[in-house]
Amino acid sequence: MKKLLSSIILASLAITSLFAGGNVKRLDNDKVLDLNGFWNENDVKIVCEALIEDCIASPRIAKFEDKNGRAPVVILGTIKNESAERIDTTIISKKMQTAILRTGVLEFVADASEREELRDEVKSQADHASEDTAKAMDEEEGADFMLQGSVKAIVQKEGKKSVRTYFVTVSLTDLQTHRIIWEGDNSEAPVRKYFKQKSVKF
């Protein structure tokens, strides 16, 4: 039993020393790092910059503001990952929301994942906050449009070589009529990556 316990302790120490002995290097924010050819933070930046610029320049969005005297209100829907990779698409939608908000062209309300927490707080205020500061229930602002989209990837393989091409499409849909009032994609400048697997020598 003592030998088994000693073996477990030694194995744990070996694993700890293995991770502790690694080198950590802080990278500059403007340095592009692509270790394996898969989707990464630089791809998010490239795609979002193109889509955001196209979105805020949409004549239909400007037409809505002229007609209603205010900026359209948007709620984040789902950007679906339709590729075979593990891609956190909420990074794309949140990055777009942040950048578009800064332009003032569109306003956003909390998405579905955030609303329940906000509503719980309003309920709590009804019981515990003063009448002067408590927020009323059923006074939420309704969104005009929903932002949705998808990420798709085409992968070409030949031996140890592969080319991955990523296509991202995002749209704004009128919640009342379900008419798409804007849609953008990166088809004119898709993210394309060539990757060659190294040979392993034994």
Q: What tens-digit pLDDT sequence spans the chain (202 residues)?
A: 555 555 556 556 555 555 555 676 665 556 555 556 678 888 888 888 889 999 999 999 999 999 999 999 999 999 999 999 999 999 999 999 999 999 999 999 999 989 999 999 999 999 999 999 999 999 999 999 999 999 999 999 888 888 889 999 999 999 999 999 999 999 887 888 888 877 656 5
Burial of 67: CB neighbours in 10 Å, binned 0-12, 13-18, 19+? exposed
How high is the pLDDT of residue 60? Answer: 95
How high is the pLDDT of residue 160? Answer: 86
Give bridge partners of residue 31 from the DSSP assignment.
Answer: none
pLDDT mean across residues, the chain: 86
Which residue from 129, 149, 18 is spatially nearest to 82, judged by alpha carbons? Answer: 149
The C-alpha atoms of residue 184 and residue 165 are separated, in whole angstroms, by: 17
Q: Is 138 left (phi over 0), alpha (psi -120 to 50) or beta?
A: left
How high is the pLDDT of residue 129? Answer: 96
